[in-house]
Amino acid sequence: MISPADGHTPLTALVVQGITMDFVGLRALENVNLTLRQGEILGLIGPNGSGKTTMINVITGLLRPTAGRIQADGADITGKPPHKIAQTGVARTFQKVKLFRELTVFENVKVAAVSVGMPNRRAKEQAWVALEELGIEAWSGRIAGTLPYGHERKVEVARALAMNPKFILLDEPAAGMDEEESAALLQILTPIPEKKNLGMLIVDHDMNLIMRLCNRLHVLNYGKTIGEGTPEEVRRIPEVVEAYLGS
């Protein structure tokens, strides 16, 4: 057990310990340790195929890790089904957008609040708040499948926020957006962790964006941790420069 007294791993954190994930003939993650604290923004970066999405899939229960443990707020969630993990307060978005295409934008967001156990009335309020947070309340009546591409990602973020999560894992939330759009999204995302006291893990390729946005970074390469720390610290790690920043 992790005790709150040892200082490094506070109870209000998502703690990933020694996670290894093997696919057939491929080790996608190897002994990765990672801590996401409530109130902070952690950047998870690394070249394509380095295991970032796999990490999020393991945390949210879509994949069962070969080895290792995951705790959310002190509760062991390793190997639990995805819906149970969601109900303990872990939310996510998908790199490849997965909206409920036949539902309205409002229903897409409301169902997330409903599914984590909020009564109907509160779920509606919560959905409305999340839509306003992303500035997309005007689309609430649209069928999600008819939205333009860039808009879909915002609905995904709103859907995850509507769960009122303690931890939110964003898998390339700005992918496919132009610079202006992704800057606008960044503006929206930055204040959220502190305001809602949630831990935000964000995967992105835009180094400028990541460096500005994140309190801490975690760098993966071929499934292994090659560096972690503040953006300034990470920038000075030779392996990171070689594997990622240099290119």
Ligand X SMILES: Nc1ncnc2c1ncn2[C@@H]1O[C@H](COP(=O)(O)OP(=O)(O)O)[C@@H](O)[C@H]1O
DSSP label at 166? S
Residue 182 near ligand X by CB under 6 A: no
State the nearest-atom distance from the C-beta of 201 to ligand X, in Å. 13
User: By C-beta, is 46 or 89 nearer to ligand X?
Assistant: 46
CA distance 245 to 19: 25
User: By C-beta, is 45 or 116 nearer to other proteins?
Assistant: 116
Q: Please return the burial class of 188, using the count of CB atoms within 10 Å of its CB with bins 0-12, 13-18 and 19+.
A: middle
Residue 125 near other proteins by CB under 8 A: yes
Q: Which one among 71, 140, 182, 221 touches other proteins, defined by CB under 8 A?
A: 140
In the numeric block, the tokens 């999600």 are attached to: 144
State the nearest-atom distance from the C-beta of 86 to other proteins, in Å. 4
Q: Please return the burial class of 223, using the count of CB atoms within 10 Å of its CB with bins 0-12, 13-18 and 19+.
A: buried
Q: Which does 91 bind (CB under 5 to 8 A by kind): ligand X, other proteins, Mg ion, none?
A: other proteins
Contact 44, 199 (CB under 8 A): no
Residue 49 near ligand X by CB under 6 A: yes
Contact 203, 171 (CB under 8 A): yes
Residue 53 near ligand X by CB under 6 A: yes
CA distance 61 to 63: 5
In the numeric block, the tokens 């902070």 are attached to: 40
Contact 166, 72 (CB under 8 A): yes
Here's the x/- map for ligand X, 8-47, by CB under 6 A: it reads as ---------------x--x-x-----------------x-
Residue 160 near other proteins by CB under 8 A: yes
Here's the x/- map for Mg ion, 81-100, by CB under 5 A: it reads as --------------x-----
Q: Please return the burial class of 48, using the count of CB atoms within 10 Å of its CB with bins 0-12, 13-18 and 19+.
A: exposed
Amino acid occupying residue 181: E
Amino acid occupying residue 60: T
User: By C-beta, is 101 or 236 nearer to other proteins?
Assistant: 101
In the numeric block, the tokens 């994140």 are attached to: 214
Q: Which one among 1, 5, 6, 48 touches ligand X, defined by CB under 6 A?
A: 48
User: Using CB under 8 A as the criterion, which residues of the chain lie in contact with other proteins when the complex forms?
Assistant: 60-62, 81-83, 85-87, 91-92, 94, 98-103, 106-108, 110-112, 114-117, 120, 123-125, 128, 140-141, 159-160, 163
User: Using CB under 6 A as the criterion, which residues of the chain lie in contact with ligand X when the complex forms?
Assistant: 23, 26, 28, 46, 48-54
